Chain A
Amino acid sequence: MTESVYLKNGGMTPVAAIPRLEYGDFGQAIVTQVQKGQARVAAYFAVLSDEPGAVLEIFAILARERHGDLAVFRTLVGERFESLTPNCSQVHLFEREIAEQFGVIPEGHPWLKPVRFHRSWRPDHDAWGRDPAAHPLVGDLDFYRIDGDGVHEVAVGPVHAGVIEPGHFRFQCYGETVMHLEISLGYQHRDLERMLLGGPHPATPSQIETIGGDSTVAHMSAYSKVIEGLTGCPAPARAKAIRALGLELERLANHVGDLGALSGDVGFLPTASYCGRLRGDYLNMTAHLCGSRFGRGLVRPGGVLFDLQSSLSARILAALEDCEANTIGAIRLFFDTPSVLSRLEGIGRLSRSAAEDLGLVGVAAKACGVPRDCRFFFPTGIYQQEFDELITDENGDVFARARVRSREVEVSLGLVRRILGNLPKGETMIPMGPLPPESLAVTLVEGWRGEVVHVGLTDGTGSFRRYKIVDPSFHNWSGLALALRDQQISDFPLCNKSFNLSYAGFDL
Chain B
Amino acid sequence: MIQVLLERYRQGFRTGAFPRLEPVLPERFRGLPIFGGCPANCRECETTCPFGACQVVDSQVIVDLGRCLFCADCPACVHGRLSFSTEYRLAADRREGLRYGGGTYSPAEGLEPKLKKLFGRSLKLRQVSAGGCNGCEADCNVLGTLVFDLGRFGIQFVASPRHADGILVTGPVNENMRSALLDTYAAIPEPKIVIASGACAISGGPYQESTEGCRGVSELVPVDLFVPGCPPHPYTLLDGLLRMLGKRK
Q: Does A163 contact B (CB under 8 A)?
A: yes
Task: Give the distance to chain A from B226, nearest Cβ to Cβ, in Å.
Answer: 19
Q: Report yes or no: A187 in contact with B177, Cβ–Cβ below 8 A.
A: yes
Known: A166-B180, A191-B211, A291-B72. A333 touches B129 (CB 8 A): no
Residues of A contacting B234 with CB < 8 Å? 280
| Size of B's binding interface in residues, CB under 8 A | 67
Q: Report yes or no: A190 in contact with B131, Cβ–Cβ below 8 A.
A: yes
Q: Report yes or no: A287 in contact with B7, Cβ–Cβ below 8 A.
A: no
Task: Give the distance to chain B from A332, nearest Cβ to Cβ, in Å.
Answer: 8
Residues of B contacting A293 with CB < 8 Å? 139, 233
Give bound CA distance, A203 to B142, whole Å: 28
Q: Does B212 contact A (CB under 8 A)?
A: yes
Q: Does B141 contact A (CB under 8 A)?
A: yes
Residues of B contacting A276 with CB < 8 Å? 142, 144-146
Give bound CA distance, A336 to B7, whole Å: 12
In the complex, the chain A residue whose C-beta lies closest to that of B139 is A293
CB-contacts of B66-80 with A (<8 A): 69-73, 75
Give bound CA distance, A213 to B11, whole Å: 29
Q: Report yes or no: A162 in contact with B73, Cβ–Cβ below 8 A.
A: no
Give bound CA distance, A337 to B7, whole Å: 13
Q: Does B119 contact A (CB under 8 A)?
A: no
Residues of A contacting B174 with CB < 8 Å? 187-190
Q: Report yes or no: A195 in contact with B210, Cβ–Cβ below 8 A.
A: yes
Give bound CA distance, A91 to B111, whole Å: 53
Q: Does A329 contact B (CB under 8 A)?
A: yes
Residues of A contacting B72 with CB < 8 Å? 290-292, 296-298, 305-306
Give bound CA distance, A333 to B175, whole Å: 45
Give bound CA distance, A202 to B52, whole Å: 12
Give bound CA distance, A159 to B29, whole Å: 32
Known: A190-B210, A276-B145, A290-B72. A165 touches B28 (CB 8 A): no
Task: Give the distance to chain A from B246, nearest Cβ to Cβ, in Å.
Answer: 24
Task: Give the distance to chain A from B195, nearest Cβ to Cβ, in Å.
Answer: 13
Residues of A contacting B245 with CB < 8 Å? none
Known: A195-B209, A287-B29. A201 touches B50 (CB 8 A): yes
Residues of A contacting B205 with CB < 8 Å? 206, 210
Give bound CA distance, A134 to B144, whole Å: 40
Residues of A contacting B28 with CB < 8 Å? 287-291, 306
Give bound CA distance, A216 to B136, whole Å: 13
Q: List the count of A-B residue pairs having beta carbons below 8 Å apart.
A: 201
Q: Report yes or no: B26 in contact with A284, Cβ–Cβ below 8 A.
A: yes
Which of B3, B10, B71, B175 contacts A135, CB < 8 Å?
A: B175
Task: Give the distance to chain A from B124, nearest Cβ to Cβ, in Å.
Answer: 13
In the complex, the chain B residue whose C-beta lies closest to that of A260 is B145
Residues of B contacting A163 with CB < 8 Å? 127, 129, 137, 140-141, 144, 157
Residues of A contacting B209 with CB < 8 Å? 195, 203
Residues of B contacting A492 with CB < 8 Å? none
Chain A contact surface mostly = loop
CB-contacts of A158-182 with B (<8 A): 158-159, 161-166
Task: Give the distance to chain B from A295, nearest Cβ to Cβ, in Å.
Answer: 10
> What mask results when residues 273 to 302 of chain A are scored 1 for a CB within 8 Å of chain B, else 0?
110110110011001111111101110100
Q: Report yes or no: A159 in contact with B128, Cβ–Cβ below 8 A.
A: yes
> What mask results when residues 1 to 36 of chain B are scored 1 for a CB within 8 Å of chain A, else 0?
001100110110010000000000111111000000
> What mask results when residues 208 to 249 of chain B are scored 1 for a CB within 8 Å of chain A, else 0?
011110100000000000000011011000000000000000
Q: Does B176 contact A (CB under 8 A)?
A: yes
Residues of B contacting A277 with CB < 8 Å? 11, 14, 145-147
Q: Does A151 contact B (CB under 8 A)?
A: no
Q: Report yes or no: A166 in contact with B11, Cβ–Cβ below 8 A.
A: no
Q: Does B172 contact A (CB under 8 A)?
A: yes
Q: Does A456 contact B (CB under 8 A)?
A: no
Q: Does A503 contact B (CB under 8 A)?
A: yes
Give bound CA distance, A336 to B3, whole Å: 9
Task: Give the distance to chain B from A501, nearest Cβ to Cβ, in Å.
Answer: 10
Q: Does A502 contact B (CB under 8 A)?
A: yes
Q: Does A330 contact B (CB under 8 A)?
A: yes
Q: Does A26 contact B (CB under 8 A)?
A: no
Q: Report yes or no: B147 in contact with A280, Cβ–Cβ below 8 A.
A: yes
Which of B8, B71, B210 contacts A270, CB < 8 Å?
A: B8
Residues of B contacting A503 with CB < 8 Å? 134
Q: Does A138 contact B (CB under 8 A)?
A: yes
Q: Does A186 contact B (CB under 8 A)?
A: yes
Q: Does A118 contact B (CB under 8 A)?
A: yes
Give bound CA distance, A436 to B50, whole Å: 24
In the complex, the chain A residue whose C-beta lies closest to that of B206 is A206
| Size of A's binding interface in residues, CB under 8 A | 69
Q: Does A207 contact B (CB under 8 A)?
A: yes
In the complex, the chain B residue whose C-beta lies closest to that of A325 is B10
Give bound CA distance, A159 to B130, whole Å: 9
Known: A284-B26, A294-B231, A305-B73. A186 touches B176 (CB 8 A): yes
Which of A161, A164, A202, A284 contacts B137, CB < 8 Å?
A: A164
Q: Does B171 contact A (CB under 8 A)?
A: yes
In the complex, the chain A residue whose C-beta lies closest to that of B204 is A190
Give bound CA distance, A274 to B10, whole Å: 11
Residues of B contacting A203 with CB < 8 Å? 50-51, 206, 209
Give bound CA distance, A283 to B127, whole Å: 22
Q: Report yes or no: A190 in contact with B128, Cβ–Cβ below 8 A.
A: no
Task: Give the distance to chain B from A199, nearest Cβ to Cβ, in Å.
Answer: 11
Q: Does A350 contact B (CB under 8 A)?
A: no
CB-contacts of A242-294 with B (<8 A): 270, 273-274, 276-277, 279-280, 283-284, 287-294
Task: Give the distance to chain B from A236, nearest Cβ to Cβ, in Å.
Answer: 17
Q: Does A211 contact B (CB under 8 A)?
A: yes
Give bound CA distance, A323 to B83, whole Å: 32
Q: Report yes or no: B207 in contact with A207, Cβ–Cβ below 8 A.
A: yes
CB-contacts of B134-179 with A (<8 A): 134-142, 144-147, 157, 159-160, 171-172, 174-177
In the complex, the chain A residue whose C-beta lies closest to that of B75 is A202
In the complex, the chain B residue whose C-beta lies closest to that of A289 is B28
In the complex, the chain B residue whose C-beta lies closest to that of A213 is B135
Q: Does B133 contact A (CB under 8 A)?
A: yes
Q: Does B184 contact A (CB under 8 A)?
A: yes
CB-contacts of A300-343 with B (<8 A): 300, 305-306, 325-326, 329-330, 333, 336-337
Which of A190, A274, A300, A333 contacts B212, CB < 8 Å?
A: A190
Q: Does A117 contact B (CB under 8 A)?
A: yes
> What mask results when residues 465 to 508 of chain A are scored 1 for a CB within 8 Å of chain B, else 0?
00000000000000000000000000000000000001110010
In the complex, the chain A residue whose C-beta lies closest to that of B143 is A163
A–B complex contacts, Cβ < 8 Å, 5 sampled? A165-B134, A166-B180, A188-B129, A189-B175, A502-B134
The 7 closest A-B pairs by CB, nearest first: A297-B72, A213-B135, A213-B133, A291-B28, A161-B159, A276-B145, A202-B50
